[in-house]
Amino acid sequence: MGEVKNKTSMGIDQNLAGLLCYLGWWITGLIFLLTEKENQFVRFHALQSIIAFGVFFVVNIVLGFIPFVGWLLWILSVILWIVLMMKAYRGERYKLPIAGNIADQQSKPAA
């Protein structure tokens, strides 16, 4: 069996990189997805960040003009943002229901 890789190809700790995938919402997820080619843990969190916060971004554009809906979306996205950063930093591969499954499938190496 291969050795568990705790560093990214950029040389930083994978848990810190996982947290950073969420720090700038979907934008930092995209940056890490494009720069990290080897570490599956980081690629998973990058993809999940892109999908989850990309959806929040689009839904907020479409429904954000409705005062209560926009406020509720913002509160929910901030709570999710904090939870996902904490889980990634603790080394957990926490999967959101739909986004997590897609990210899990796409972050695995090609057979």
Using one digit for the tens of pLDDT, what is the confidence trace for 13-35? 899 999 999 998 889 999 988 88
pLDDT score of 110 more than 70: no
The answer to whether residue 72 is domain-embedded is yes
pLDDT (average), residues 48-72: 86
Q: Which domain holds residue 61?
A: 14-106
Q: What is the pLDDT of residue 22?
A: 94
pLDDT score of 74 more than 60: yes
Measured between alpha carbons, how far is 45 from 61 in angstroms, rounded to an integer? Answer: 24
pLDDT (average), residues 60-65: 81
The answer to whether residue 111 is domain-embedded is no
The answer to whether residue 7 is domain-embedded is no
User: What tokens appear for 61 in the block?
Assistant: 């554009």
Measured between alpha carbons, how far is 94 from 79 in angstroms, rounded to an integer? Answer: 15
The answer to whether residue 84 is domain-embedded is yes
Q: What is the pLDDT of residue 78?
A: 92
Q: What is the pLDDT of residue 109?
A: 66
Contact call for residues 73 and 56 (beta carbons, < 8 A)? yes
Contact call for residues 13 and 7 (beta carbons, < 8 A)? yes
The answer to whether residue 1 is domain-embedded is no
The answer to whether residue 81 is domain-embedded is yes
The answer to whether residue 25 is domain-embedded is yes
The answer to whether residue 69 is domain-embedded is yes
Number of domains in the chain: 1
